[in-house]
Amino acid sequence: MTSQLWPPMVVDPSTLTWDVTGTAKVKSLPGIGRALALICGLIGQMNLDPVKAGQILAPRPRVLQQPDLDKTLVGFTSESAEEYLIEGNSMSLITAWDSRGQAAACRWFPAWCWSTIKDDDRYYLNGHPVDPENVLHAKRGSDPMNPRRGVGIVEQHLKELERAGLQSEYERQNLRSGGVPSVAVIAPQKELTQAELDEAGAAWQERFGGPVRRPGIFPNGTEVKPLSWSPNDQQMVLARQMTLTDVANMMNLDAYWLGAPASSHTYRTPGVMFLILLRTTLEPILRELEQVWGQKMLPYGTDLRFDRTQLTRDDMASMITSFVVAIREGLMTVDESRVYMGLTPFGTPEATTPRIPSATPDTSEEPEPAISVNTPKEGDTK
């Protein structure tokens, strides 16, 4: 019996009051949408480079410039990362090979198109068997019931996402049917009929409901009290903030990135912020995609690397300060620093040759010369 990679058989939509099995509904949650836009957008900005013995090979192969001929590189990498996170399985099929037997092109397919059999190495694409050597399968963890499939955010945090969806639906219904008036008008008359109250309310709406703020003249003793949200509405705001914190934990993000309550980051430079984001959130995704794609797309001995320079760059002033010291001490050349900053290298011998650090002057004190004292000998006269 084949096992569909998505949606998993363990998720039964009929048992849920808010269906979270569909990716469209999950991404409609503001926190999830923001997290996916941040993570997948950053991954989509990175180029794919072949690396051998620590050196980037040039020129970049055609398959790394546009792996899927029907998509841009940004679309291919960002959609692959999104399915890896949400559904736990990012699937692509190699569709063309070059004369050297290396992958020349591939095509991305949604996870719901794929299925597997627990004791069979083959994959099934829309019910048809596929050679596993042609499949690029990056999986997030492993399903204990079927180790050949990964487990996504939705399946792992199903109940929490259902709660967030129900909370959003309850808030929508409460705002639609349980609204609070903007003001309360307390009339000085002790006894008013319902007809008089309705007439006064209509008159108030006609006079003050439009965009023009007309002056109001009321009988002596009339009180007008502005009304804010009810305590229940304020609790919904707090619940929404806590949901953002929960979503940040699901996506392994600092709550700061989702606008949830978090510690202050006022004195951190952009480079430091993105470096933390890269190491804690993006690296597990990047390393999985690099190994899976590199093994099938590149020849043996050549690794695939995402270009992380875009994220590790700091602001211009901080970079220049660091590079001046690195160039003076011979750690970098002028052209290497210009490439790191995204500038065109000079190409001159002075710019491509590391500088020899200047010798440190000897600041140790020399011993003072001995002072000779002429002692008069016996028999000498003055």
Q: What pLDDT, on a 0 to 100 scale, did the predictor assign at position 275?
A: 86
CB atoms within 10 A of CB 67: 25
Cis status of the peptide bond prior to 132, with omega within 30 of 0: no
pLDDT > 90? residue 380: no
pLDDT > 60? residue 366: no
DSSP string, 243-276: HHHHHHHHTT--GGGGT-S----TT--HHHHHHH
DSSP class of residue 300 equals T
User: For the segment 34-74, what is each residue's pLDDT rounded down to a tens digit?
Assistant: 999 999 999 999 999 999 988 889 899 999 999 999 999 99
User: For the segment 325-355, what is each residue's pLDDT rounded down to a tens digit?
Assistant: 999 899 999 988 888 887 888 989 888 898 8
* Cα 23 from chain centroid (whole Å): 18
- The proportion of the chain whose per-residue pLDDT surpasses 70, expressed as a percent, equals 79
pLDDT > 50? residue 13: no
pTM of model > 0.85 = no
Whether 92 and 133 have beta carbons less than 8 Å apart is answered as: no
CA distance 115 to 2: 6
pLDDT > 60? residue 316: yes
Q: How confident is the model at residue 122 (pLDDT cuts 50, 70, 90)?
A: confident
Residue of 56, 48, 104, 58 lying closest to 78 (CA atoms):
48
Would you tell me the crossing angle of helices 73-86 and 283-297 to the nearest 10 degrees? 120
Q: How confident is the model at residue 370 (pLDDT cuts 50, 70, 90)?
A: low
